[in-house]
Amino acid sequence: MSDSRVPLIRVTAMPADTNPYGGVFGGWLMGQMGLACGSFASKRSRGKAILVAADAIRFPGAMAVGDELSVFVELVKHGRTSLRLKAEAVARERDGEQEQVVAEGEFTFVALDADGKPREIE
């Protein structure tokens, strides 16, 4: 899956990131995707932006402890005060080049002003 995109987050899954069955916890994957989208949203809106919705979350693959996770983000929709983003989480096996999509979903952020009210995104 040779990819020319640059990930917003790249991290290694550790034992603390596993579920009771020994696989990487879906909540951890969602958290990494949310962090990447939050970084994108704050940069794009030039200020505070908060997560208001996470939709269409899917886990088409599985990753193991030690695998490297890369999260890619793209803009789906730019609203007046909000951004809808698509996140794709790709795992690369620790000791090789094999990659697979392990999670994907859409995240909506709203830009806020200093008073915590929605503000227009330029």
For residue range 65-120, what is the model confidence (pLDDT) as tens digits? Answer: 999 999 999 999 999 999 999 999 999 998 999 999 999 999 999 999 999 999 99
Residues 8-57: tens digit of each pLDDT: 999 999 999 998 988 999 999 999 999 999 999 999 999 999 999 999 99
> What's the predicted TM-score (pTM) here?
0.92
**DSSP element (H, E) containing 7:** none
All domains of the chain in start order, with CATH: 9-111 (3.10.129.10)
Spatial separation of the C-alpha atoms in residues 37 and 98, rounded to whole Å: 25
The type of residue at 35 is L
Spatial separation of the C-alpha atoms in residues 32 and 29, rounded to whole Å: 5
DSSP track, 24-79 = BPHHHHHHHHHHHHHHHHHHHHTS-EEEEEEEEEE--S---TTPEEEEEEEEEEE-
